[in-house]
Structure 1
Amino acid sequence: MHLTNSSPSITPRDRHLLRHAALAVGCAVLFAVLAALVQTGWRPLSRFDHRPIDDLHRFAAGHTAWTASVQLFSDIGGTVTMRSVLGAAALWLWLIGARTLGGWVAAQTLAGWAAQWLLKLSFGRQRPTFSDPVSHAGGPALPSGHAMASAITCAVLVGLLWPRVGRAGRIAACSVAALITVGIGASRVFLGVHWPSDVVGGWLAAGIVLGSVTVLVELSRPGALARDFRRMNWRTRPRVQRVLVSPARPPRDTPVDHPDGLLR
């Protein structure tokens, strides 16, 4: 008597769902722990927040040119810019027929905006205060909207590029995305408008949104994201490739060498 394993194998879609579900749950647990430590005033976290913020403020106040450049970088990478980029990407995907993928991008944008303000209003954390601030920002501190929006935008753009580039392109895309995300988060701490834990909270909140939205879209439209990725590749592949592989045709008036060596 032979025993066979009747349990179904895990499909690529199942692995995709599990990865994003794990991302959402893991980031949610870490964010809950961080928020609890912030609310209870845990001393190690308080020292982690206050020590760098005071030193950075003294440096920023004494180096106005550098501070102005950091402020410009922070403004360029702000929430409006990041969400505008995602909005443009969603519109483009919709126009080329990748409707589910475009909806996924739009949902990441809207869910990120809604989650940001829901969390901010839930915790109501005060921002750092100085007698001579070098920058100003309104609203509660936790999580950092700049950190959250930049993480979501960079992750979505890398996801759109992922199937269209090779290993070198993926490494380059991930490196640029990481530098932008870390740079924008660090700029908010340098300018004294966020605590370091606010930035970490923004990145964790971004992970919650990215994973949750992807799982919901996959469950509501099974396989649609994969089909739209293939459609996007077909729609956007360079036309020049077909020109390069097509056989060359000589002009009508150009003499052609025939196998018998005569010119006709």
Structure 2
Amino acid sequence: MHLTNSSTSVTARHRRLLRDSAVAVVCAALFGLLAVLVTRHWQPLERFDLGWVGELHRYARDHKIWTASVQTLSDIGGTITMRALLGIAAGWLWLIGARMLAGWVAAQALVGWAGQWALKLAVDRQRPSFTDPVSHAGGPAFPSGHAMASAITCAVLVGLLWYRVRRRGRIAACAVAGATVLTIGWTRIALGVHWPSDVLAGWLAAGVVLGAVTAAIELWRPGALARDVRRVNWRTRPRVQRIVVPAVRPPRGSDLLGDGADHPDEAVR
């Protein structure tokens, strides 16, 4: 029985490692293709970008209240807000003893921030320019930092919540996360500070970071993230449930982070 469980656990970890690596590789390939099209000024893509930005700018210029609302949404979903949320999550995980999971969250934020600026400086794309802009933003355009940060943050938070809720909660979490990412990306185009391809590039870059960081930690410490997931589930379980039903086993390993010991204390054995 022990050998069977161990073999199943290893196979599951390999599947997850393959999945995370595939996400990173596919997103990197698509990002690279998009970057080539942008730097070579591929005409169909440029026409698409110009068409969207031009139409939205004219509407934003003529509807001040609507534009102010879009600017507010963009500010709320900014990179500082998103990374602050990851910082809070990492701090909480560290305090309850889920140190590897806390490091995973922190690494997503830090690698995302560094990768964003490395890619921006490498491509050095100019932002849309208007004689009567409705908003301003500094630095190169490609990829969109707002789009990248929001995608990383929402994916990480959904991942942390996934095994704490049932099916309806998961659907709701994914719906809210998806709507948030799409809305923030759209506000950057609507305000005329990013091209649509910048936003798409931000989402692809987020996929690279999410997959690569998770795969790297799993290679470094196989099963450690899964053990921390179970530790979080066990330590945040209602106290009354721990006393009344002490024999209840904590949740099994997560599909996101792997399999390991069933009780958090087994992680150190």
Q: Provide the C-alpha distance between the structure 1 equivalents of 2:53 and 2:169, rounded to a whole number of angstroms.
A: 36
Q: Provide the C-alpha distance between the structure 2 equivalents of 1:245 and 1:221, rounded to a whole number of angstroms.
A: 32
Equivalent AA in structure 2 for residue 228 of structure 1: D
Give the corresponding residue for 2:33: 33
Root mean square deviation, CA, Å = 1.8
Distance 1:117-1:136 versus aligned 2 partners, 3 A rule: same
Pairing of 1:47-196 with structure 2 (within 5 A)? 47-196=47-196
Which whole-Å deviations, capped at 9, do the CAs of 1:66-108 have from their partners, x for residues lacking one? 1001101100100000000000100100010000000000000
Q: Provide the C-alpha distance between the structure 2 equivalents of 1:194 and 1:121, rounded to a whole number of angstroms.
A: 15
Pairing of 1:222-233 with structure 2 (within 5 A)? 222-233=222-233
- What is the count of residue pairs matched by the alignment? 240
Q: Provide the C-alpha distance between the structure 1 equivalents of 2:177 and 2:41, rounded to a whole number of angstroms.
A: 32
Q: CA deviation at 1:245?
A: 7.0
Distance 1:240-1:121 versus aligned 2 partners, 3 A rule: same
Give the corresponding residue for 1:24: 24
Q: CA deviation at 1:11?
A: 0.9
Give the corresponding residue for 2:215: 215
Aligned-pair identity (%):
69
TM-score (normalised: structure 2): 0.86
TM-score (normalised: structure 1): 0.88
Q: Provide the C-alpha distance between the structure 1 equivalents of 2:236 and 2:243, rounded to a whole number of angstroms.
A: 15
Equivalent AA in structure 2 for residue 171 of structure 1: I
Larger Rg: 1
Q: Provide the C-alpha distance between the structure 2 equivalents of 1:77 and 1:37, rounded to a whole number of angstroms.
A: 28
Q: Provide the C-alpha distance between the structure 2 equivalents of 1:241 and 1:228, rounded to a whole number of angstroms.
A: 20
**Any stretches of 5+ residues in structure 1 without a counterpart?**
1-6, 247-264
Which whole-Å deviations, capped at 9, do the CAs of 1:26-59 have from their partners, x for residues lacking one? 0000000000000111111111100010010000
Q: Provide the C-alpha distance between the structure 2 equivalents of 1:63 and 1:39, rounded to a whole number of angstroms.
A: 33
Q: Provide the C-alpha distance between the structure 1 equivalents of 2:78 and 2:50, rounded to a whole number of angstroms.
A: 24
Equivalent AA in structure 2 for residue 16 of structure 1: R
Choose 141-150 or 159-168, whichever is displaced more.
159-168
Give the corresponding residue for 1:202: 202
Equivalent AA in structure 2 for residue 150 of structure 1: S
Moved over 2 A (4+): 7-10, 238-246
Q: Provide the C-alpha distance between the structure 1 equivalents of 2:160 and 2:8, rounded to a whole number of angstroms.
A: 30
